[in-house]
Amino acid sequence: MQLTLLAIVIVACLPAFGDGEITARTSYYKERATRVVQPMIDASFETTDTSTVDAHFLVDAITSASAASGSTGTPFSEKRYEAGGRASNEFTNVFTGGVSGKYSTEPDYQSWFVGINGAFSLAEDNFVLNLSLGASFDSIDDSGINNPMAEVQEESLQSYLGSVAVTQLVSKIAAVSLTYDFTTVNGYQANLYRVVPAGGIFVPERVPDQRFRHAIFGQYKLYVRPAKATLITGYRFYFDSWNVQAHTPSFRWIQELGDSLLHFRFRYHQQRRADFHQDRYVSSSEVFLTDDEKLSSFNGYTLGTKLVLQLSDIGFKGRLGHASGIVNVDYVMQNNRFGDAIAASVGLTLPFGDDAVD
């Protein structure tokens, strides 16, 4: 509610900018041992006829009883703050480029990210090529242990990523796209708080310092005219140098309801474990040991729905008539220690500028 009021105040103070919108939303995530509440505010506005700027700020309020995040496994709470932005410009009718960056901080983890991207629209916009490059630089410590007798351990992590995506219109109502993402991760990738039972004792987690990650994602979109709806099917294949593999098919149906939209979503995820992950280690002398559930074999299903309600559909006029409310709920069923999870969010998008007034 506070961020929604703040969004209204900001909109009132932005008459000098071009057309744009500001969104305030709050997300909630709950699984067996962890709860996250995330208020967020983001804005997008035109600075010139060809340029746009986006910015966001969020807070993660995390409460967890996971031993992977605390030295004793007792419940703890902490907050993460993130701020970021992106600027893009349409340089020609063919090329649009942009830069982005963000910074996040929490008591024992800080991260910087910078990126550039470019989009080429060819064949009368029937074919689009997107290229992206990015890098993140993280610093990690175990200050959360709060042991005045122990020296704080400090580590670092660097990630470099590249992405290539192509989209082709195959008819007036259908499009296909293919995306390839590559990420190289270098540095400390274990959890400073996590210990692993091995050979009858507990030892600190040990994983490789380097990881190469690949993801290939294909998608097909079809507008179903008789139903006034869009069908989106996708498949993502992930693999990395730790021998983790994952298959993730997905399905979405987006139904038009006047100017509003109702989304239905189904996603299946099947993952193979990392080659060094074991349910039980018989020796503490193994080169690598982990108790990270995200590196185990598991599968899961996600069922979700989202309503994007245009306020004009329920009688609002003027500026509020151009606004929209968002309600999203996902339920995740997974056969790992995380257990089933629920994710939900509510938000309000308010336009500003000439387009926001009838």
In this structure, the number of other CB atoms found within 10 A of the CB of residue 150 comes to 9
Task: State the fold for domain 2-356.
Answer: Porin (2.40.160)
Look at the block and give the residue holding tokens 């509510």.
346
- How large is the average pLDDT for residues 289-300? 95
**Which pLDDT band holds residue 146 (cuts at 50, 70, 90)?**
low
How confident is the prediction for the chain on average, in pLDDT? 90
- Mapped onto helix, strand or coil, the DSSP state of residue 353 is coil
Supply the pLDDT for residue 148: 65
Top pLDDT among 115 and 124 is at 115
Question: Cα 112 from chain centroid?
Answer: 16
- Do residues 264 and 305 touch, judged by C-beta distance below 8 A? yes
| Range from 44-53, 58-67, 80-89, 316-325 carrying the lowest mean pLDDT | 58-67
CB environment 336-350: b (16+ within 10 A), e (fewer): eebeebebebebbbb
The gap between the terminal CA atoms of the chain, to the nearest Å, is 26
pLDDT exceeds cutoff 70 at 74: no
pLDDT surpasses 80 at 44: yes
> What pLDDT does residue 102 have?
98
Q: Is the dihedral of CA 114, 131, 238, 169 positive or negative?
A: positive
Sign of the Cα torsion 27, 28, 29, 33 reads positive
CB 195 within 8 A of CB 205: yes
pLDDT value of position 9: 47
Rounded (10°) CA dihedral 310, 314, 318, 319:
-40
DSSP string for residues in 30-67: E-SSEEEEEEEEEEEEESSSSEEEEEEEEEEEEEE--T
pLDDT of 6 > 80? The answer is no
Contact 312, 229 (CB under 8 A): no
Residues comprising the chain, all counted: 358
Q: Minimum mean pLDDT among 67-81, 162-176, 193-207, 221-235: which range?
A: 67-81
Query: Rounded distance, CA 340 to CA 273, Å?
Result: 19
Q: Any residues with CB less than 8 A from the CB of 105 and at least 6 apart, and which?
A: 80, 81, 82, 111
Q: Which residue has the higher pLDDT, 200 or 116?
A: 116
pLDDT of residue 353: 77
0.75 exceeded by pTM:
yes
